[in-house]
Chain A
């Protein structure tokens, strides 16, 4: 297999407004390296509404349409339809949204675009809460996490919504998880999405040091630990049924190693760790069954 290279060209400039250690900013940098200048972005309300810079500035050298919170998928679809109607077929349109705009308020439009198999890439940079509004829980917030709307004495008591499975159920050509801690895998997935027609969704695990109450230098480490503890498996599903595990974790670390470096889990006790470990083990087993069944 040929050695993977990450394109050198920077289409995102360094003068953006992201917090230190923002994985959402890093993810955009990688995506644009792969997608290049023949790309247009639709971005709903999310951290990236701020990161890109206020009018008249922009941190990306591609056209960007800021759109309403729940409309990333459909604004991108509309953009794509408009371009194709004008005979412009070679421009990629990417919807780029946070977890709130994806798992919650934008969910209906995503389901619509996925069901129609609209020819766009949807990327969710998932920092597991409404970070731009100041750390409120979303349906992507994991079990046990503190947020400003799930205080430490009543943390989130429901698991994270399983977005990839729901998208797989739409039988779209390509849906995958990815992580900024595994850039080679991330780049490959962007390339695959770029070369696949129809609706694609990449779910990127994107640590937020500000919202997770951890030092910025732990951003990549926490993302890597999420994979190594099997909290966030890296896999893909083609056409809704062909499961492939991209990063195998043969000897997982205990979940505590991932949880203990983040302030948002500081209130958890040993018993809570056990519950979370049990959940992670069960979900991994389920995923392995699918990988085995459909490989």
Chain B
């Protein structure tokens, strides 16, 4: 087996975005938000100091599942919903690899919900990028677990009667150690978010709001469009007060434990009254996972970031401890173990 350690970036050839572009023709619909996510992903890849042969993209089924074919790294397009499970085994066997999981709202939250939750709670050192377009695209337009209540789709002509889930709330309940949200078209923000995700070690969950211009066009337009985004989205920075608005005059304050929107300068409100984002505070994270347009600005950025031992590290430590206390396994002694007798 190859046991490549992460060499100092100085020893490695300098890679650029182009090094991560594969020879396969990209086959998403023209205008799909996936193009932007692919471009930003390729752009940030050189920044992590991994040689490209040590990077693996694993995907499930859905439009997002095609992304690994377009990355000139190792890639594995698996089966519906199971990418986190396959990534868990790969990372356990090969701690030296940088593993990314590309998934969608149906893949991650419906058929693969169980694997998502368990890979997150185990703090598997993988970066799960979930493209959330609130629809099933590849199967041509059925309601997904994030589709809004009452949505009329091919499979719900009278409106869906299923309440949607909050992907961030699920990630939080599963104790992911890194949770973030970004938007396909906000390229700079997306790039920064992917950078942060790539640098985190542990279970990393990024929800990317992604427009499906064929089956669910404009799903996020109300708050992501250039003209309104500053007023309707809340960009989070650790340690900074939660301020938003074109004029940077709006903020989030806690009234008891209820968040409320306040205007700086009105009713004696100053920055000091605003809630300060803390990536380690589970209560803030819970609140942020549940506020959404139109009642609130939509939070984007890193919601939660904590550090604890990763799954592969814990596996390796137990093996190291077992070897330290019992010595490297000896097959002869193992076979000869227990109660034996000799027949002359």
The answer to whether A and B belong to the same complex is no
> Hey, which bits of chain A sit against chain B, CB under 8 A?
none
> Hey, which bits of chain B sit against chain A, CB under 8 A?
none
